[in-house]
Amino acid sequence: MRGRELLGELDAFLTETERDLVAFRRDLHMHPELAFAEYRTTQKIAERLTAAGLTPSVLPRGTGLICDVGSGDGPTVALRADIDALPLQDEKDVSYRSTVPGVCHACGHDVHTTALLGTGLFLAQQAAAGLLPGRVRLLFQPAEELPGGALEVMAHGGISGVDRVFALHCDPRVDVGQLGIRSGPITAACDRVVVRVSGPGGHTSRPHLTADLVFALAKILTELPAALSRRVDPRSSLSLVWGRVEAGSAANAIPNDGIAEGTIRCLDEEAWHAAPDLIKSLLESVASAYGIEAAMEYTRGVPPVVNDEVSVEMLGEAAERALGAGSAVPTPQSLGGEDFAWYLESVPGALARLGTRTPGGLTYDIHQGSFDIDERAIAMGVRVMATTALTALWEVTPLDAVSTVVA
């Protein structure tokens, strides 16, 4: 009964605010800000929340904020949106194109932010009407792309007292109106590796008298990924992919040094923990075979996001209710990294994929300057987030308490 009322209230809320939310997203899209520099974005969110009678608490750096909706002794459910943009040029030809050269919301965080804002405004109405059986904590997290913003939110009490946490991420391969869900790992671990090689250098006519550094570096580039594929369980999908390589300056001179940089992605936590030592030993054995020195800098990124089964059921149930039957669809595990993983090491929760593709339309890709969405996804995000939060609150609220707030 309450579920049907909720849908009617969501419809009414969105009829009134959807256009405004789309305008809010476009404004963010035009003014993207990089990780830990999201000052304007934070202010814009804070203004809207404050105007709705809420009391947002901006994080000490001035980027990102936490805002509770509702109060009392009930359970607490957190909803998280990341707010940062990427250092990429916006290549779209649209009225809301980025006005900041080299910075663009190419990962859809403007969409997550706007959907969470809409959810917060809707839930504030519910709370004012005495219909919120607990507390919903809105986490507007800075610096997901760095990553590290999740740790910043956690360091400032973002998930203390939280019973469950949820997040959505745009998925341009899923149609708008659908929600991609998956239990267990849904993203991958993602680390960075930098390899620096050095040798005596010399004339290219005499590689046998020096050490052929470019050749050795090329061996490292191809041998390391190949060896990993034989030394690690293929089910872990550990993969090393190089993104940058540089050595030398002249056709006839063997250089003294070179560098290669890449990322390591992994679906399995055990293989992730073993990766740095294994890569280091492989690197040393290839380098020594060619008489060069090799040093490795390994930077840990994020662990995989491992979705809690009950939380995934809540998301699926909410999608079926708020977006329609058949709207919850299975989604594959991605090799992308996502710092939402840090929250899930402390609190059960789940991340779902918010469909952003116009059915039959173009399939964009995230982290590309051409990325864009079907803006109906914003309202869909509000529907799913609000319904999920209420579902989670209802499920952990004793029945007599529900009957008093829902009566």
- Residues of this chain that interact with Zn ion (CB under 5 A) are 107
Contact 136, 117 (CB under 8 A): no
CB of 150 to Zn ion, least distance (A): 12
Residues 6+ apart with CB under 8 A from 154: 342, 343, 346
- Among candidates 158, 29, 24, 137, which has minimal Cα distance to 84? 29
- 207 vs 336, beta carbon nearer Zn ion: 336
- 111 vs 238, beta carbon nearer Zn ion: 111
- 255 vs 337, beta carbon nearer Zn ion: 337
- 107 vs 217, beta carbon nearer Zn ion: 107
Strands 179-181, 135-141: pairing is unpaired
CB of 159 to Zn ion, least distance (A): 19
| Whether the bond into 147 is cis, omega within 30 of 0 | yes
- 119 vs 391, beta carbon nearer Zn ion: 119
Residue carrying the six token digits 């009950």 = 310
CB of 181 to Zn ion, least distance (A): 17
CB of 59 to Zn ion, least distance (A): 19
- 140 vs 394, beta carbon nearer Zn ion: 140
Residue with the CB atom nearest Zn ion in the bound state: 107
Q: How far is residue 390's CA from residue 394's CA, in Å, rounded to a whole number?
A: 6
Instruction: Output the six-digit token pair for 380.
Output: 């869909």
* 3-state secondary structure (DSSP) of residue 316: helix
- 273 vs 367, beta carbon nearer Zn ion: 367
CB of 304 to Zn ion, least distance (A): 15
Contact 145, 157 (CB under 8 A): no
Instruction: Output the six-digit token pair for 378.
Output: 């914003």
CB of 293 to Zn ion, least distance (A): 35
CB of 367 to Zn ion, least distance (A): 6
Residues 6+ apart with CB under 8 A from 177: 323, 324, 327, 355, 359, 376, 380
**Exposed/middle/buried for residue 402 (C-beta within 10 Å: 0-12, 13-18, 19+):** middle
